[in-house]
Protein backbone atom coordinates (compact mmCIF):
# COMPACT_ATOMS: atom_id res chain seq x y z
CA UNK A 1 0.00 0.00 0.00
CA UNK A 2 1.33 3.45 -0.92
CA UNK A 3 2.49 5.57 2.01
CA UNK A 4 0.28 8.58 2.64
CA UNK A 5 1.81 11.98 2.21
CA UNK A 6 1.95 13.99 5.42
CA UNK A 7 0.88 17.58 4.74
CA UNK A 8 1.22 19.04 8.24
CA UNK A 9 1.91 17.90 11.79
CA UNK A 10 0.72 19.97 14.74
CA UNK A 11 0.80 19.39 18.49
CA UNK A 12 -2.37 17.26 18.63
CA UNK A 13 -3.13 16.30 15.03
CA UNK A 14 -1.55 15.23 11.73
CA UNK A 15 -2.95 16.07 8.30
CA UNK A 16 -2.42 13.67 5.39
CA UNK A 17 -3.31 14.08 1.75
CA UNK A 18 -6.87 12.88 1.19
CA UNK A 19 -8.19 10.41 -1.42
CA UNK A 20 -9.72 13.17 -3.60
CA UNK A 21 -8.40 16.62 -4.52
CA UNK A 22 -9.61 19.17 -1.99
CA UNK A 23 -9.75 16.61 0.85
CA UNK A 24 -7.42 15.77 3.74
CA UNK A 25 -7.31 13.07 6.40
CA UNK A 26 -7.10 14.49 9.93
CA UNK A 27 -5.46 12.12 12.45
CA UNK A 28 -5.95 12.75 16.18
CA UNK A 29 -2.83 12.03 18.28
CA UNK A 30 -2.71 11.14 21.97
CA UNK A 31 -0.20 13.93 22.60
CA UNK A 32 -1.24 16.57 25.10
CA UNK A 33 0.58 19.88 25.32
CA UNK A 34 0.03 23.03 27.34
CA UNK A 35 1.69 26.41 27.87
CA UNK A 36 2.88 26.53 24.26
CA UNK A 37 4.23 22.95 24.46
CA UNK A 38 6.35 23.57 27.59
CA UNK A 39 4.28 20.84 29.30
CA UNK A 40 3.87 17.60 27.31
CA UNK A 41 2.54 14.08 27.82
CA UNK A 42 0.96 11.19 25.96
CA UNK A 43 -2.59 10.53 27.19
CA UNK A 44 -3.78 7.07 26.18
CA UNK A 45 -7.13 7.33 24.38
CA UNK A 46 -7.29 11.14 24.05
CA UNK A 47 -7.08 11.10 20.24
CA UNK A 48 -9.90 8.55 19.98
CA UNK A 49 -12.15 10.62 22.26
CA UNK A 50 -11.41 13.91 20.49
CA UNK A 51 -12.03 12.35 17.07
CA UNK A 52 -15.49 11.23 18.20
CA UNK A 53 -16.34 14.39 20.11
CA UNK A 54 -15.24 16.66 17.27
CA UNK A 55 -17.34 14.56 14.87
CA UNK A 56 -20.33 14.92 17.21
CA UNK A 57 -20.09 18.72 17.36
CA UNK A 58 -19.24 19.24 13.68
CA UNK A 59 -22.16 17.03 12.53
CA UNK A 60 -24.54 18.83 14.91
CA UNK A 61 -23.36 22.22 13.70
CA UNK A 62 -23.64 21.08 10.06
CA UNK A 63 -27.23 20.05 10.75
CA UNK A 64 -28.12 23.59 11.82
CA UNK A 65 -26.46 25.06 8.73
CA UNK A 66 -23.01 25.99 10.03
CA UNK A 67 -20.52 25.15 7.25
CA UNK A 68 -17.71 22.91 8.55
CA UNK A 69 -14.71 21.06 7.13
CA UNK A 70 -16.02 17.69 8.39
CA UNK A 71 -16.96 15.12 5.71
CA UNK A 72 -16.97 11.78 7.57
CA UNK A 73 -15.20 9.81 10.25
CA UNK A 74 -12.95 7.17 8.74
CA UNK A 75 -11.94 5.17 11.82
CA UNK A 76 -11.16 5.54 15.53
CA UNK A 77 -8.54 8.23 15.02
CA UNK A 78 -9.15 9.72 11.59
CA UNK A 79 -11.69 11.83 9.80
CA UNK A 80 -11.99 12.97 6.20
CA UNK A 81 -12.15 16.75 5.95
CA UNK A 82 -12.32 19.46 3.30
CA UNK A 83 -9.01 21.16 2.66
CA UNK A 84 -9.18 24.89 3.28
CA UNK A 85 -6.86 27.85 3.70
CA UNK A 86 -6.65 28.35 7.47
CA UNK A 87 -7.15 31.95 8.62
CA UNK A 88 -4.19 32.54 10.98
CA UNK A 89 -6.40 33.41 13.95
CA UNK A 90 -7.58 31.62 17.06
CA UNK A 91 -11.11 32.80 17.73
CA UNK A 92 -11.99 32.58 21.42
CA UNK A 93 -15.55 32.91 22.72
CA UNK A 94 -16.05 33.41 26.47
CA UNK A 95 -19.21 33.13 28.54
CA UNK A 96 -17.58 33.05 31.99
CA UNK A 97 -14.27 34.61 33.11
CA UNK A 98 -11.42 32.08 33.24
CA UNK A 99 -7.87 31.49 32.03
CA UNK A 100 -6.01 34.35 30.40
CA UNK A 101 -9.01 36.70 30.60
CA UNK A 102 -9.01 36.38 34.39
CA UNK A 103 -5.23 36.79 34.59
CA UNK A 104 -5.10 39.71 32.17
CA UNK A 105 -7.99 41.71 33.61
CA UNK A 106 -7.99 40.54 37.25
CA UNK A 107 -11.55 39.16 37.02
CA UNK A 108 -12.15 36.23 39.33
CA UNK A 109 -12.49 32.85 37.58
CA UNK A 110 -16.13 31.83 37.41
CA UNK A 111 -17.56 35.36 37.10
CA UNK A 112 -20.34 35.25 34.49
CA UNK A 113 -19.73 37.74 31.66
CA UNK A 114 -22.53 40.21 30.78
CA UNK A 115 -22.51 38.86 27.19
CA UNK A 116 -20.35 36.48 25.18
CA UNK A 117 -16.98 38.08 24.52
CA UNK A 118 -15.03 37.25 21.36
CA UNK A 119 -11.26 37.60 21.27
CA UNK A 120 -8.77 37.04 18.46
CA UNK A 121 -5.25 35.66 18.83
CA UNK A 122 -2.69 35.57 16.02
CA UNK A 123 -1.77 31.93 15.38
CA UNK A 124 1.99 31.84 15.83
CA UNK A 125 3.58 29.40 18.28
CA UNK A 126 6.89 31.31 18.30
CA UNK A 127 5.04 34.40 19.56
CA UNK A 128 2.79 32.39 21.93
CA UNK A 129 -0.42 33.16 19.94
CA UNK A 130 -0.70 36.82 21.06
CA UNK A 131 -4.05 38.57 21.54
CA UNK A 132 -4.65 40.98 18.64
CA UNK A 133 -7.21 43.66 17.80
CA UNK A 134 -9.37 43.83 14.65
CA UNK A 135 -7.11 46.71 13.57
CA UNK A 136 -4.08 44.38 13.47
CA UNK A 137 -6.03 41.69 11.61
CA UNK A 138 -7.18 44.04 8.87
CA UNK A 139 -3.95 46.08 8.66
CA UNK A 140 -1.80 42.95 8.29
CA UNK A 141 -4.25 41.29 5.87
CA UNK A 142 -4.97 38.17 7.97
CA UNK A 143 -8.69 38.70 7.26
CA UNK A 144 -10.83 41.50 5.83
CA UNK A 145 -13.78 43.27 7.46
CA UNK A 146 -16.34 40.99 5.76
CA UNK A 147 -14.42 37.91 6.99
CA UNK A 148 -14.42 39.31 10.52
CA UNK A 149 -18.17 39.99 10.43
CA UNK A 150 -18.74 36.43 9.17
CA UNK A 151 -16.36 34.98 11.79
CA UNK A 152 -18.18 36.77 14.64
CA UNK A 153 -21.58 35.54 13.38
CA UNK A 154 -20.25 31.98 13.01
CA UNK A 155 -18.56 32.01 16.43
CA UNK A 156 -21.79 33.15 18.12
CA UNK A 157 -23.79 30.39 16.38
CA UNK A 158 -21.22 27.82 17.52
CA UNK A 159 -21.49 29.24 21.04
CA UNK A 160 -25.31 28.98 21.06
CA UNK A 161 -25.23 25.41 19.79
CA UNK A 162 -22.42 24.23 22.05
CA UNK A 163 -23.82 25.97 25.15
CA UNK A 164 -27.18 24.25 24.56
CA UNK A 165 -25.60 20.80 24.02
CA UNK A 166 -23.57 21.16 27.18
CA UNK A 167 -26.29 22.64 29.36
CA UNK A 168 -28.55 19.70 28.44
CA UNK A 169 -26.03 17.33 30.05
CA UNK A 170 -25.24 19.44 33.10
CA UNK A 171 -22.08 21.10 31.78
CA UNK A 172 -21.31 24.82 31.61
CA UNK A 173 -19.52 25.98 28.44
CA UNK A 174 -17.13 28.50 29.99
CA UNK A 175 -15.14 29.31 26.83
CA UNK A 176 -13.75 27.74 23.68
CA UNK A 177 -11.42 28.31 20.76
CA UNK A 178 -12.24 27.72 17.10
CA UNK A 179 -10.41 28.14 13.82
CA UNK A 180 -11.88 28.90 10.43
CA UNK A 181 -10.68 28.37 6.87
CA UNK A 182 -11.38 29.78 3.42
CA UNK A 183 -12.81 27.76 0.55
CA UNK A 184 -12.15 29.41 -2.82
CA UNK A 185 -14.49 29.44 -5.81
CA UNK A 186 -12.61 31.41 -8.49
CA UNK A 187 -12.03 34.82 -6.88
CA UNK A 188 -14.75 34.41 -4.25
CA UNK A 189 -14.29 32.72 -0.92
CA UNK A 190 -16.48 31.55 1.91
CA UNK A 191 -15.54 30.57 5.45
CA UNK A 192 -15.95 27.18 7.09
CA UNK A 193 -15.36 25.94 10.62
CA UNK A 194 -12.08 23.97 10.64
CA UNK A 195 -9.61 22.27 13.04
CA UNK A 196 -11.54 20.56 15.87
CA UNK A 197 -14.05 21.17 18.63
CA UNK A 198 -13.22 19.02 21.64
CA UNK A 199 -12.45 19.32 25.37
CA UNK A 200 -8.89 20.21 24.25
CA UNK A 201 -10.16 23.56 23.00
CA UNK A 202 -13.03 24.27 25.43
CA UNK A 203 -13.45 24.95 29.14
CA UNK A 204 -16.21 22.70 30.48
CA UNK A 205 -17.34 22.79 34.10
CA UNK A 206 -19.86 20.49 35.74
CA UNK A 207 -22.82 22.72 36.63
CA UNK A 208 -23.48 21.03 39.99
CA UNK A 209 -19.97 20.60 41.34
CA UNK A 210 -17.81 22.96 39.28
CA UNK A 211 -15.54 20.01 38.44
CA UNK A 212 -13.36 20.68 35.40
CA UNK A 213 -13.93 18.33 32.45
CA UNK A 214 -11.47 19.82 29.93
CA UNK A 215 -7.79 20.30 29.20
CA UNK A 216 -7.32 22.35 32.39
CA UNK A 217 -7.26 18.92 34.12
CA UNK A 218 -3.93 18.39 32.34
CA UNK A 219 -2.72 21.99 32.47
CA UNK A 220 -3.34 22.20 36.25
CA UNK A 221 -2.64 18.54 37.23
CA UNK A 222 -6.19 17.93 38.45
CA UNK A 223 -6.42 14.18 37.74
CA UNK A 224 -7.03 11.93 34.75
CA UNK A 225 -7.66 13.74 31.47
CA UNK A 226 -9.05 10.59 29.85
CA UNK A 227 -11.57 10.19 32.68
CA UNK A 228 -12.71 13.80 32.21
CA UNK A 229 -13.10 13.50 28.42
CA UNK A 230 -14.79 10.10 28.79
CA UNK A 231 -17.27 11.71 31.19
CA UNK A 232 -18.11 14.40 28.58
CA UNK A 233 -18.47 11.77 25.83
CA UNK A 234 -20.71 9.58 28.00
CA UNK A 235 -23.00 12.43 28.99
CA UNK A 236 -23.39 13.48 25.35
CA UNK A 237 -24.20 9.89 24.34
CA UNK A 238 -21.06 9.58 22.21
CA UNK A 239 -19.92 6.74 24.51
CA UNK A 240 -22.26 4.20 26.12
CA UNK A 241 -22.75 5.04 29.80
CA UNK A 242 -21.58 1.58 30.89
CA UNK A 243 -18.58 1.32 28.55
CA UNK A 244 -15.40 -0.39 29.76
CA UNK A 245 -11.96 0.94 30.63
CA UNK A 246 -11.56 4.61 29.81
CA UNK A 247 -8.09 4.16 28.32
CA UNK A 248 -9.51 1.86 25.61
CA UNK A 249 -12.94 3.36 25.02
CA UNK A 250 -15.69 1.18 23.56
CA UNK A 251 -17.38 3.45 21.08
CA UNK A 252 -20.87 3.47 19.65
CA UNK A 253 -20.67 3.23 15.83
Work out which of 52, 73, 203, 212 binds ligand 5GP, going by CB under 6 A: 203
> Is residue 76 within 8 Å of 98, Cβ to Cβ?
no
Q: Does 229 bind ligand 5GP (CB under 6 A)?
A: no
Helix ranges (H only) for 169-215 are none
Q: Does 129 bind ligand 5GP (CB under 6 A)?
A: yes
Which has the closest alpha carbon to 166: 67, 251, 235, 246?
A: 235
Sign of CA dihedral 215, 14, 47, 159: positive
What is the smallest separation between the CB atom of 45 and ligand 5GP, expressed in angstroms? 17
Q: How far apart are CA 222 and CA 213, in angstroms?
A: 10
Q: Does 176 bind ligand 5GP (CB under 6 A)?
A: yes
| Cross-strand pairs, 234 | none
Q: How far apart are CA 157 and CA 139, in angstroms?
A: 26
Work out which of 13, 84, 173, 175 binds ligand 5GP, going by CB under 6 A: 175
Q: Does 92 bind ligand 5GP (CB under 6 A)?
A: yes
Q: Which is nearer to ligand 5GP, 177 or 235 (CB)?
A: 177
Q: Does 179 bind ligand 5GP (CB under 6 A)?
A: no
Other C-beta atoms closer than 10 Å to the C-beta of 98 total 22
Looking only at residues 183 through 202 of this chain, which bind ligand 5GP when binding is defined by CB under 6 A? Answer: 200-202
**Using CB atoms within 10 A of its CB, is residue 31 exposed (0-12), middle (13-18) or buried (19+)?**
middle
Q: Which is nearer to ligand 5GP, 23 or 102 (CB)?
A: 102
What is the smallest separation between the CB atom of 5 and ligand 5GP, expressed in angstroms? 25
Interface contacts to ligand 5GP, rule CB under 6 A: 90, 92, 98-101, 129, 175-177, 200-203, 215
Amino acid sequence: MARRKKVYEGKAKILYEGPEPGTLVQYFKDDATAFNAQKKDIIDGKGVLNNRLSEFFMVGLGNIGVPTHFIKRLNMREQLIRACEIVPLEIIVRNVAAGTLSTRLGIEEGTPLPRPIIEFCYKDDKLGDPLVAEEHIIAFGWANQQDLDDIVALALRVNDFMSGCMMAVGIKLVDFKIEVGRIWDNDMHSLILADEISPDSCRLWDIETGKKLDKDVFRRDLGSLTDAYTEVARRLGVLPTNSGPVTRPTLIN
